[in-house]
Structure 1
C-alpha cells in the first residue's frame, strides 16, 4: 500500500458516496411505507378523526342494514339487485371510490356553496342541506324516504324555496340532459318537502361539474307526476322483495352497468362460478376483495360471527388474526381443517385437495363454507 492509499483510507468515505447511501436509505424506507394499503389505512384514520372532530362519531361505525321500507334518495332507480346488495351490507368486490366522494364533497363545500351565496336573491340564504323524512303508500305498500338534500335556497326562517343536486363527473361532453337516477333523487326531495311545507316546492336544479375542467352544466327540473309515479313503483317493488326475504332480480338499465358493478361476481355477471348469491357471506375461493371493503363487511356483521374465508386468510393474514377465519371443509368425508394447516397459493384458482381423502386414494377438493352458511342468524 502506498502512502497516498493510506491517506485516502484514513479519510473515510467521500461526501458524495455518503450522500448516495443516505438517499438510498431514505428511498428504501419511503418505498416500504408508501403503499396502497398504507395510504388507504391513513386516509381511513383521517376520516375517523374528522368525524369525531365534527361531532359525527356515529359515522365511524358500520352502517346498519336498511329496513325493507326505508329508501335513500341517492339509490333510486338503480338495478334492484344492486340496490338491495348495498342496503343489506353485502361485501363489495371492488376498491371504494373514496377519491370521487372526496372530490364531490370538496366541490360542493368550497365552490358550489360560496357561489350560490353570492348569486342568491336578496332576503334568501343558502343552507348546506335540508333533512327529509317522508312516508307514502304505493299500491298498498308503505315506503319511507330518508336523507338530506344538497345545498338549498331558504327563507330567513330556514324554509326551503329551491333545492339543488350537485354531481361531479369525468366529462360534460356527452351530457345532453339530467340522468334518470339523479332526476329521481331530486324528485324525492321535491315530493318530501312539498308535503311538509305550506308553500309549493316543485322545481330544483341539477348541477353537473367536470372534475377535470370545473365547468358546469345546469338543468332545471320541474316535478313530473308521471315520472314520480314510476319512481315510487320502483321503491314499492324493492320493498316487496325484501319483505318477502327474496333476492330481487337483476335489472340494470344498460348492459354495460354490470361490468362496473361492485357485486357482479356474486350476482353472476362475471367470469366466475357464482350466481344469484344472497346478501350474506363471502364468496369461497374468491380473493378479489379490497382491504377496506372487507373490514367494513366484517365490522358490519361482527355480531353474526363474520370471519374470513381460508382463501382470504392467506391473502390478508393480518386481518385473519384480527377477525378470525372459517375452516376448510371437505364435502366428502366431512372433515374440517384449520386454514394454516393447508398449503394454498394465493394466486391459484384451483382449490386444495382434502388431505384425508388423498390418503384414501380419492381426489376431493375442499373449500370454505358457502356464503349462506357463514353468518349466524341475527340475535344468536
Structure 2
C-alpha cells in the first residue's frame, strides 16, 4: 500500500530546504524571527550547533502557517494588481527580505504598504496560533497572560527598521494579524511604536553580550542576563541537548 503520509513528509522536507536557500550567504546572521529569544540559544545557532529537528506533527503545523501566509500574500498581490496604474497609489510589497548588516540580522516580512508621498509605511505580520494562545491574548481578562512574551512585537520592530532603511520612510505603523487555527477567527492588533527602539536594544545588547564568548558554558542559565529571557523557552528549545539549563525539565 502506498504510504501517503510518508510522501507528504518528504514534500515538507523539500519545502523546508527551499526556505533555507533564501538565507544562502548569511547563514551566520541572526534571524529576525528570533528577536527576544535566549542569548545562549542565539549563540548555538550562530556557531552552527546541530539543532534537534522538529517532529512530523510540528512540521505539519508549520506548513499550515506557511499556507495561511501564502494566501494573505496572494490576496494582497491580487489587490495591488487591481489598483496599479491608478494615480498616487501607494506601493504594496509582500515577502520582502530585510537585512540589517550592522546587526547581522536577516528576515522576511509578510506584507507592507509604502506611501512615498507621506514618507510612511504600514507593516503587517501574520501569526497563526492555537486556541489556548488566542485565549491568552484575547480572552476574558482573567484568562489573559499577565506577563506575555513580546517576541512577536520585537520581530515586527526589527522588520520596521529594515523597511525604513530600504524605502527611506520616516514612520512605520506596525500591525499583528492573529489567525486562530482552530476557529479561523481573525484579529488585527496595532503594535506600539516603541518596539522599534526595543528591538534595537535587544539586538545591540545581544551582539555585545556574545562578542567575547568562546564556550557556551560562559552563558550561565539563570545567572547571565538573557539566558534564558523567559524560563519556558528551555522546554521548547531545539538546542536543549547541548545545554545544561535547569529550566528545560
Task: Please give the TM-score of this superposition, normalised by the length of structure 1.
Answer: 0.49
Matching residue of 1:352: none
Report SS of the residue matched to 2:113.
strand
Matching residue of 1:174: 136
Q: What are the equivalent positions in structure 2 for 1:68-107 lying under 5 Å apart?
A: 70-96=29-55, 97-107=58-68
| 1:152 Cα deviation from its structure 2 partner | 1.1
Q: For residues 209 and 77 of structure 2, what CA distance do their matches in structure 1 show? A: 36
**Which protein shows a greater Rg?**
1
Q: Is the 1:79–1:253 contact (alpha carbons within 8 Å) kept by the matching residues of 2? A: yes
| 1:229 Cα deviation from its structure 2 partner | 4.5
| 1:184 Cα deviation from its structure 2 partner | 0.9
Q: Is the 2:77–2:94 contact (alpha carbons within 8 Å) kept by the matching residues of 1? A: no
Q: For residues 197 and 129 of structure 2, what CA distance do their matches in structure 1 show? A: 28
Structure 1 residues 195 and 154, CA gap change in structure 2 (3 angstroms)? closer
What is the CA deviation profile of residues 64-113 of structure 1, one whole-angstrom value per residue up to 9, with x for unaligned ones?
Answer: 7844xx32211111111122223333222353432232111111121465
Matching residue of 1:267: 243
Structure 1 residues 187 and 268, CA gap change in structure 2 (3 angstroms)? same
1:147 and 2:116 correspond:
no
Give the one of 158, 171, 177 matched to 1:188.
158
Q: What are the equivalent positions in structure 2 for 1:186-335 lying under 5 Å apart?
A: 186-224=156-194, 226-241=197-212, 244-247=213-216, 248-250=219-221, 251-269=227-245
| 1:38 Cα deviation from its structure 2 partner | 6.0
Q: Is the 2:175–2:189 contact (alpha carbons within 8 Å) kept by the matching residues of 1? A: yes
Structure 1 gaps of 5+ residues are 1-28, 137-142, 273-380
1:134 and 2:105 correspond:
no
List structure 1 segments (4+ residues) > 6 angstroms apart after TM superposition.
62-65, 119-122
Q: For residues 240 and 66 of structure 1, what CA distance do their matches in structure 2 show? A: 18
Q: For residues 150 and 168 of structure 2, what CA distance do their matches in structure 1 show? A: 28
What is the CA deviation profile of residues 139-192 of structure 1, one whole-angstrom value per residue up to 9, with x for unaligned ones?
Answer: xxxx233222111113589x9721111111112111159841111111112122
How many residue pairs get matched?
222
| 1:216 Cα deviation from its structure 2 partner | 1.9
1:59 and 2:59 correspond:
no
Matching residue of 1:276: none
